[in-house]
Structure 1
Amino acid sequence: MTDTPLVLFAEFTDLDPEPARELLAERGIRTEEMRFTAAGEVELEQRRAIGIIAGYSTINAELIDQFSDLGIIAASSNGTNMIDVEHAVSRGVWVTNVGHAATDEVAVHTLALALALLRELPEMTRTAAAGGWTDDLPVTPRRVSSLTLGLIGYGRIGALVARFARPIFGRVIAYDPFRPPADEYAEAVSLAEVLETSDVVSLHLPLTSETEGMIGATEIDRMRDQAILLNVSRGELVDLEACRKALDDRKLAGVGFDVLVGEPPAADDPLRTHPRAIVTPHAAFLSDAALRSYEIDPASYIADWFTTGEPRACVVGRPAR
């Protein structure tokens, strides 16, 4: 048995754990992957861990309660829906995410999806690949500067999308009941106005019990005919079956999704190959710089907490003092 402070990786994901291991080792903190008994409980010798680096697996109240000295859970993602943040905070445990790591990447990816669909790039590339040329195009793109972009959610990513998009679109509007836009890039409007007047609707929301399934058949029916729906947040925000039907019925002109439900989705999921869908494999965050942040930032927030008593940034759960 050692008294050296211990931080656990909830699991090893596709991220390289070595940068985090090295940073924590410099602070005198050892690291291990979380291990479980046959009964599904954390092994006894790991239950005095002071921190957890969370990946995709669930960190629920039952798991949190197995630790006697836990002080911080650092998610290696922007979303923290896999963590029971409320329970962690009630136990005096800080919770962080990597909210700053890929803001630029996700905003650029959003705009790329929007422009690719509006400029009919999937149809144009299919035409060229089939041997056709200009006169063979079955569609004519709309002029983007005459269109309205509607954002649902105006946090860091939504606001940056608005800043990037404002010189390109004719109008940018946004709905966020908690952080309505107060800048020159987007107009604050109601959810109804976003749905009913936008040519492109883009979702920038966390997954919560309130937002799950918020875009379903009823909401799609309220959208403009031939509108485009984008989702780079969480797949569960959208009723995918309703989206497929709206695409097939040509209610929606297209969808641009970086996320689906149950990732990875089934290999034969019809949205993967739908002619008017662009689906990317949950890669909106991806860049060389962002990967470095995802690998090192959770450990750096744990090191901050270990040294000063609190993480310096990206706090999503703050215990009462």
Structure 2
Amino acid sequence: MERWKVVVTDWEFADLRYEEKVLGGGPFELIPVQCRTEEEVIAACRDADAILNQYAPLGRRVVEALNRCRVIVRYGVGVNTIDLAAATEKGICVANVPDYCLDEVSDHALALLLNLARRITAADRLVKRGEWDFKRAAPVRRLRGQTVGLVGFGNIPRVLAAKLKPLGFRLIAHDPYVPRSVAEERGVTLVSLDRLCREADIVSVHAPLTAETRGMIGREQLRSMKPRAYLINTSRGPVVDEGALLEALREGWIAGAALDVVEEEPIRPDHPLLSMEQVILTPHMAWYSEEAMEELRTKAAEAVREVLQHGRYPRYLVNREVMEQASSGRWQ
């Protein structure tokens, strides 16, 4: 019986029980490691048939060193840990799990939005300091009628829009890859990024991290926002220029921010954001629920099984250009 080597490059889970349920025994050999560097990934994965990846770097040097790999599956939505171009050149499928945490991330963004708008964390800090005075948390503005600007309008912000609409928000979005009709049928108006930043009372970032989106919320965008506006980021830290954000918060260009992600994670203990009372921070947890974790890991393992055991493309194939490799005889 043919055996396939499946390497888990790294993980933050308590165990690998869901992966073992799908890939344990039979034709699969599941090999868990904890890689942090490209050198470690190369050593562990050189002869792997498939890779499950969380945060370990799979740059071009790693991909080019893979001798047998047919599929790389990322635990999550973003695939910024993987060199897609190099994988495509090698005929390696790259897959993700884009639908496992739609409710979780949209719920988290909504919770951060309501926290900022109603000044919940700020008021909590005041009360715990012995200051029982609502005026110290001012100003708080009525939610209904405010404008929320969604940077990106993929699956997660579409779910978020449906949750925001009943609260009476006006919704605008910026996404050059989404047809206007898709947004309009959800009651959302597509606008330029410049207009979104000028008009929004709350800007919620949902763009994937790519070369195009890195730093897309920078000094120019933050400077054009309203002084009373808030910024929320539940996507990837580097989509927001952190230096520009710090300047914006110090100089009062915006009223505050809520960040589930930062440029370098985990955040360093002396980071200036930690001392800013107008900033709410959570530890890259927007995706998390027990149900989402099980779904993520099960679907990632199933993608490996689809490719290796059944010779099919994974359901969530990211680099669809690799399908052109079919005529080479690589696929059944």
Aligned length: 318
Deviates more, 1:135-144 or 1:99-108: 135-144
**Distance in 2, Cα, partners of 1:294 & 1:246:** 36
2:76 equivalent in structure 1: 77
Task: Give the alignment of 1:1-321 within 5 angstroms.
Answer: 3-14=2-13, 16-25=15-24, 28-33=27-32, 42-43=42-43, 47-180=46-179, 181-318=183-320, 319=322, 320=324, 321=326
**Distance in 1, Cα, partners of 2:29 & 2:144:** 55
**Secondary structure in structure 1 of the residue aligned to 2:163:** helix
Deviates more, 1:50-59 or 1:2-11: 2-11
* Residues 314/137 of structure 1: CA separation in 2 closer, same or farther (3 Å cut): same
* Residues 43/244 of structure 1: CA separation in 2 closer, same or farther (3 Å cut): closer
**Secondary structure in structure 2 of the residue aligned to 1:173:** strand
**Distance in 2, Cα, partners of 1:226 & 1:57:** 39
Q: Determine which structure has greater relative contact order: mean sequence separation of CA pairs < 8 Å that are 6+ residues apart, divided by chain length.
A: 1
**Secondary structure in structure 1 of the residue aligned to 2:296:** helix
Unaligned ranges ≥5, structure 1: none
Deviations 1:89-144 (A, max 9, x none): 22111111121111110001001111100011122112221223245534131001
**Secondary structure in structure 2 of the residue aligned to 1:212:** coil
Give, in angstroms, the shift of residue 52 of structure 1. 0.4
* Residues 182/301 of structure 1: CA separation in 2 closer, same or farther (3 Å cut): farther
The residue identity in structure 1 corresponding to 2:90 is R
Would the aligned equivalents of 1:15 and 1:295 in 2 still touch at CA under 8 Å?
A: no
**Distance in 2, Cα, partners of 1:35 & 1:102:** 24
* Residues 192/15 of structure 1: CA separation in 2 closer, same or farther (3 Å cut): farther
Larger helix fraction of residues: 2
* Residues 136/228 of structure 1: CA separation in 2 closer, same or farther (3 Å cut): closer
The residue identity in structure 2 corresponding to 1:160 is V
TM-score, normalised via structure 2 length: 0.89
Would the aligned equivalents of 2:95 and 2:314 in 1 still touch at CA under 8 Å?
A: no
RMSD: 2.2
Would the aligned equivalents of 1:122 and 1:276 in 2 still touch at CA under 8 Å?
A: no
Give, in angstroms, the shift of residue 40 of structure 1. 5.7
TM-score, normalised via structure 1 length: 0.92
**Distance in 2, Cα, partners of 1:72 & 1:226:** 47
Give, in angstroms, the shift of residue 12 of structure 1. 3.7
Deviates more, 1:273-282 or 1:118-127: 118-127
**Secondary structure in structure 2 of the residue aligned to 1:146:** coil
Deviates more, 1:248-257 or 1:62-71: 62-71
Would the aligned equivalents of 2:204 and 2:233 in 1 still touch at CA under 8 Å?
A: yes
The residue identity in structure 2 corresponding to 1:186 is V
**Secondary structure in structure 2 of the residue aligned to 1:293:** helix
**Secondary structure in structure 1 of the residue aligned to 2:91:** coil
**Secondary structure in structure 2 of the residue aligned to 1:220:** helix
Give, in angstroms, the shift of residue 21 of structure 1. 2.3
Would the aligned equivalents of 1:302 and 1:311 in 2 still touch at CA under 8 Å?
A: no
Deviates more, 1:17-26 or 1:27-36: 27-36
Unaligned ranges ≥5, structure 2: 327-332
Deviates more, 1:75-84 or 1:4-13: 4-13
